[in-house]
A = this chain, B = another copy of it.
């Protein structure tokens, strides 16, 4: 057992030759494995098949079902039953919930678009010159992409293990061109960390120089536990209330990783004032979202307890997948001291740090041998990981046996890239 850094040059050369042999053996297998996206696997999808049966023509034979006519136009903020369900889930009054279609990403994009064109509360962001957005990183590439699409300047904020580094954030928000921040507060993508009480408190009491500063609180993994030991996240709106700061945060969540990723229901929670502004825009935008699918979800779950029970079924499928990857890492990489990996209590990712300067090479080696990882660098703004070390591992989609094969190849690639690097 020896750390790679203590290897002599000769030992490295020998190891490299061994690794290349192992690598080529894998390559010869013609693998085609994918650990790139946080996509539920086929067995997870099957958990919600009965969602398709809870509303049928029989239910509508006598006319309308639910609190109003679900088949027709209308009800722009979502059906009351579904607002209530998300109200119970988020701990926010149903009046402060808007339920939309199948995609919370779409809602976030739309909200940012609204801020650009008509302002979050006042002057449109587009009319304020170059604006900036805080991007706690490693983070979610699709968040960063929205900011980039609108040509904002993305500012990386380091993650600490209990959320973004608030010393850094508190300094940055003194600049009034900094208009907001993307947060995944629970089981963060990809680090798996949950914002601590202190972090949430410091966020809630922020007084940014920009009065129209907005936090996108993407609570995507709110109840997505992997272990019996779960993380606690404070309800942001409870804390904001203490500081009379409720207008600063818009919270989003969805059932994408609860029922069907493509056919779930998404919602936002916001202050009275923000709900009014958003509703005003929505009145120009649509006559209403798919109420039948909202009602399907209400009938399928019955209550938040129903959702929580359902999440236990996901956990039973996902936990062994995470364990499989982590066990391989523990067994195959620990002794070399060239990589570290998270062991999250929830969420969809393992954040995997390899030897600085080798992550891109690892991605390339994996790809050439048939294993697709999340594009290396994607967890940082502009797709550039300054240390070239972070790789996001998404274990949810492949079956366990494929996952083990892919992870073994990945470990070989990590060692090979490190050896190459050390040999210069």
Return chain B residues, CB-CB under 8 Å to A49: 57, 60-61
The interface residues of chain B lying within 8 Å CB-to-CB of A53 are 56-57
A147 vs B417: C-alpha distance in the bound complex, in angstroms?
Answer: 56
Residues from chain B with a CB closer than 8 A to the CB of A50 are 57
Q: Give Cα distance in the complex from A317 to B105, angstroms.
A: 40
Q: List 21 A-B contacts (CB under 8 A).
A: A37-B73, A40-B72, A45-B72, A49-B60, A51-B57, A52-B56, A53-B56, A70-B263, A71-B263, A101-B289, A101-B290, A102-B289, A102-B290, A103-B287, A105-B285, A109-B286, A113-B117, A116-B117, A263-B290, A263-B291, A263-B293
Per-residue CB contact flags for chain A residues 250-265 toward chain B (1 = under 8 Å, else 0) read 0000001000111100
Q: Measured between alpha carbons, how far is A103 from B263 in the docked complex, in Å? A: 15
Question: Contacts of A293 on B, CB cut-off 8 Å?
Answer: 263, 290, 293
A398 at interface, CB cutoff 8 A:
no
Decide if A72 touches B126 in the complex (CB within 8 Å). no
Determine the chain B residues whose CB is within 8 A of the CB of A142 once the complex forms: 284, 287
CB-CB nearest 7 A-B residue pairs: A49-B57, A263-B292, A71-B260, A106-B286, A73-B261, A149-B284, A45-B71
In the complex, A80 has a CB within 8 A of chain B: no
A177 → chain B closest CB, angstroms: 19
In the assembled complex, how far is the CB of residue A139 from the closest CB belonging to chain B, in whole angstroms? 16
Bound together, the chains give a CA A289 to CA B69 distance in angstroms of 23
Query: How many residues of chain A have a CB within 8 Å of chain B?
Result: 60
Q: A398-424 toward B: CB 8 Å interface, digit per residue (1/0)? A: 000000000000000000000000000
Q: How far is the CB of A65 from chain B (nearest CB, A)?
A: 10
- Report the nearest B residue to A127, measured CB to CB: B126
Given A109-B284, A290-B293, decide whether A262 and B73 contact each other with a Cβ distance below 8 A.
yes
Among residues of B, the one whose C-beta sits closest to the C-beta of A70 is B262
- The CA-CA distance from A407 to B364 in the complex, in Å, is 72
| A158 on interface, CB distance cutoff 8 Å | no
* A118 neighbours in B (Cβ, 8 Å): 149
Do A63 and B39 touch (CB < 8 A)? no
Measured in the bound complex, the distance between the Cα atoms of B127 and A117 in whole Å is: 11
**Cβ of A146 under 8 Å from chain B:** yes
19 additional A-B pairs beyond A74-B262, A109-B285, A263-B291, beta carbons within 8 Å, are: A39-B73, A45-B69, A45-B71, A48-B71, A52-B55, A52-B57, A52-B59, A52-B60, A53-B57, A70-B263, A71-B260, A72-B262, A73-B262, A105-B286, A113-B113, A116-B117, A146-B284, A149-B281, A261-B287
A4 CB to closest chain B CB (Å) equals: 37
